[in-house]
């Protein structure tokens, strides 16, 4: 295979330094609130709740104080077992007063609570671009939230969310757009996105790369080996190409982009393609089994060009989990992880000891280093939603588990 080395690339081959910076408008176009307007019918059910200043201030605040999910006006007992700025100490007579932070964004909070109920009681949260995947360990390693407090706890604990809030325009082209405007951080309308929880079968998730409005390559997303994928390759590729041509090819505002799809088997004889996310055609998007240099050198206009569908092979190191723990660079030390893993009772305990833990970590120089829904498994939305008119189906059985 032609593998150019970074120092001396063969003549005419692009290196990572040739990667053009994405425009700020492209970053906005890849934000959920933006693309959801175009592709509502081909993705799962969701609610987009625009931020209020009160909620943004709350997210930016230090410390984690959560709303009381079961406010009891009769009681003055502040020890509800949730995170509180007060360090509860049984020997201490004078407890600090707990102040429910949601009073400062009451309308937003009520909308979040209502959305969770409307979406069936469990949601997957994210902001415009990122989900708090690095914080999932706190509530048991999944991002399944059944209360507003679950959502806020994840958002406030996640470095990925901080990145969305503070660094969305990092490494972008800061020139004016076609209208002569330079988008600034303040121009971003942030929103909380709540997606109906789905028990996703990750083996049938794929990432698709588009250059010049042409599909150039596809990779599986779950970096494990699945033999059924090899057998179903041709069918999966046909479904993805059909989906791209039908829904995205002519409608997405940019010529280059990356989209994620989910292709579960909904009934025994049918697979259906769902749009999961749209990502910038930029270094910040993980190319998974490809490298960006490879993708940069793909030319869909070359004669005989065929998009490559790459899977993890049986003997690839990734298939044996040698690649390192996911999000490990963003995780907290083991004692914090242990507290999160031990279940709700320990989370309460952990909350009460939060300040103490942080102080200990600081003392040791270890402070934060970076400072399928309740319906059918695999199904992505209610049949009765009325939004369910999109998607590409193939009357062929796939070997999805």
Ligand X SMILES: Nc1ncnc2c1ncn2[C@@H]1O[C@H](COP(=O)(O)OP(=O)(O)OP(=O)(O)O)[C@@H](O)[C@H]1O
Q: How far is CA 331 from the centre of its chain?
A: 16
Phi then psi for residue 133, to 5 deg, are -65, -25
Site membership for ligand X, residue 126 (CB under 6 A)? yes
Phi then psi for residue 271, to 5 deg, are -115, 150
Token duo for residue 238: 């046909």
Among Mg ion, ligand X, none, the one that 131 touches (CB under a kind-dependent 5 to 8 A) is: ligand X
The owner of tokens 């059944």 is 146
Stated length of the chain: 401
Among 260, 308, 368, 375, binds ligand X (CB under 6 A): 260
- Closest contact distance (angstroms) between CB of 252 and ligand X is 16
- In angstroms, the first-to-last Cα distance of the chain is 34
A 10 A CB-CB count for 38 gives 17
Site membership for ligand X, residue 195 (CB under 6 A)? yes
Q: Are 233 and 204 in contact (CB under 8 A)?
A: no
Question: Which CB atom, from 33 or from 67, has the smaller least distance to Mg ion?
Answer: 33
Question: Which CB atom, from 258 or from 311, has the smaller least distance to Mg ion?
Answer: 258
- Closest contact distance (angstroms) between CB of 49 and Mg ion is 19
Rounded to the nearest 10°, the torsion over CA 155, 204, 196, 31 is 50
Among Mg ion, ligand X, none, the one that 26 touches (CB under a kind-dependent 5 to 8 A) is: none
Q: How far apart are CA 144 and CA 153, in angstroms?
A: 12
Question: Which span (4-12, 80-88, 200-208, 360-368) binds ligand X, by CB under 6 A?
Answer: 200-208
Chain position whose Cβ is nearest to Mg ion: 277
Q: Are 165 and 59 in contact (CB under 8 A)?
A: yes
Question: Which span (71-79, 101-109, 197-205, 324-332) binds ligand X, by CB under 6 A?
Answer: 197-205
Site membership for ligand X, residue 35 (CB under 6 A)? no
Long-range CB contacts for residues 111-117, cutoff 8 Å, separation at least 24: 111/47, 111/49, 112/49, 112/148, 112/151, 112/192, 112/194, 113/147, 113/148, 115/47, 115/49, 115/194, 116/145, 116/146, 116/147, 116/148, 116/151, 116/194
Question: Which CB atom, from 326 or from 360, has the smaller least distance to ligand X?
Answer: 326
Question: Which CB atom, from 84 or from 279, has the smaller least distance to ligand X?
Answer: 279
Site membership for Mg ion, residue 164 (CB under 5 A)? no
Site membership for ligand X, residue 311 (CB under 6 A)? no
Site membership for ligand X, residue 44 (CB under 6 A)? yes
Among 205, 256, 294, 379, binds ligand X (CB under 6 A): 205
Count, residues near Mg ion per rule CB under 5 A: 1
- Closest contact distance (angstroms) between CB of 260 and Mg ion is 6
Q: How far apart are CA 82 and CA 344, in angstroms?
A: 10
Question: Which CB atom, from 33 or from 232, has the smaller least distance to Mg ion?
Answer: 33
Among 115, 116, 131, 216, binds ligand X (CB under 6 A): 131
- Closest contact distance (angstroms) between CB of 164 and ligand X is 9
Site membership for ligand X, residue 164 (CB under 6 A)? no
Question: Which span (184-192, 198-206, 242-250, 300-308) binds ligand X, by CB under 6 A?
Answer: 198-206
Q: Are 138 and 156 in contact (CB under 8 A)?
A: no
Q: How far apart are CA 380 and CA 119, in angstroms?
A: 12
Q: Where are the beta strands (DSSP E) in 115-176?
A: 123-126
Question: Which CB atom, from 49 or from 131, has the smaller least distance to ligand X?
Answer: 131
Q: Are 51 and 188 in contact (CB under 8 A)?
A: no
Question: Which span (4-12, 145-153, 274-282, 333-341) binds ligand X, by CB under 6 A?
Answer: 274-282
Among 164, 277, 294, 373, binds Mg ion (CB under 5 A): 277
Query: Could you tell me the CA-to-CA distances from 378 to 200, 201, 257, 265, 318 in Å, in that order?
Result: 5, 6, 26, 7, 24
Among 60, 118, 141, 202, binds ligand X (CB under 6 A): 202
Among 139, 191, 198, 248, binds ligand X (CB under 6 A): 198
Question: Which residues in this chain contact ligand X in the complex, by CB under 6 A?
Answer: 44, 124, 126, 130-131, 133, 195-198, 200, 202, 205, 221, 260, 276-277, 279, 372
Which residues would be at the binding site for Mg ion (CB under 5 A)?
277
């Amino acid at each position: 295979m032609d593998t150019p080395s970074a120092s001396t690339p063969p003549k005419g081959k692009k290196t990572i330094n040739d990667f053009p910076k994405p425009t700020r408008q492209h970053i906005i176009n890849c934000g959920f609130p933006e693309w959801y307007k175009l592709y509502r019918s081909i993705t799962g059910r969701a609610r987009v709740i625009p931020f209020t200043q009160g909620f943004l201030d709350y997210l930016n605040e230090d410390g984690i104080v959560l709303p009381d999910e079961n406010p009891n006006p009769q009681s003055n007992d502040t020890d509800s077992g949730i995170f509180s700025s007060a360090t509860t100490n049984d020997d201490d007579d004078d407890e600090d007063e707990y102040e429910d932070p949601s009073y400062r964004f009451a309308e937003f909070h009520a909308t979040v609570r209502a959305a969770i109920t409307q979406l069936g009681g469990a949601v997957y949260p994210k902001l415009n671009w990122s989900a708090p995947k690095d914080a999932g360990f706190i509530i048991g390693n999944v991002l399944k939230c059944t209360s507003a407090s679950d959502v806020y706890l994840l958002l406030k604990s996640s470095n990925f969310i901080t990145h969305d809030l503070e660094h969305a325009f990092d490494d972008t082209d800061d020139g004016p757009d076609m209208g002569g405007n330079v988008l600034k951080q303040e121009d971003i309308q942030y929103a909380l996105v709540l997606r109906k929880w789905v028990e996703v079968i990750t083996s049938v998730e794929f990432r698709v790369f588009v250059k010049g409005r042409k599909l150039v390559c596809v990779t599986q997303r779950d970096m494990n080996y699945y033999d059924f994928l090899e057998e179903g390759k041709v069918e999966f590729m046909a479904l993805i190409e059909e989906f791209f041509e039908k829904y995205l090819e002519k409608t997405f505002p940019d010529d280059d982009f990356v989209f994620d799809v989910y292709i579960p088997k909904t009934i025994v004889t049918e697979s259906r393609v769902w749009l999961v996310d749209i990502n910038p055609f930029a270094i910040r998007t993980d190319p998974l089994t490809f490298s960006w240099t490879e993708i940069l050198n793909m030319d869909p206009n070359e004669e005989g060009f065929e998009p490559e569908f790459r899977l993890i092979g049986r003997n690839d190191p990734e298939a044996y989990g040698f690649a390192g723990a996911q999000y490990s660079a963003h995780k907290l030390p083991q004692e914090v992880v242990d507290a999160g893993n031990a279940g709700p009772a320990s989370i309460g305990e952990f909350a009460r000891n939060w300040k103490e833990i942080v102080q200990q970590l600081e003392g040791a120089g270890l402070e934060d280093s970076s400072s399928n829904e309740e319906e059918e498994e695999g199904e992505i939305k209610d049949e009765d939603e009325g939004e369910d008119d999109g998607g590409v189906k193939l009357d062929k059985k796939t070997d999805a588990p």
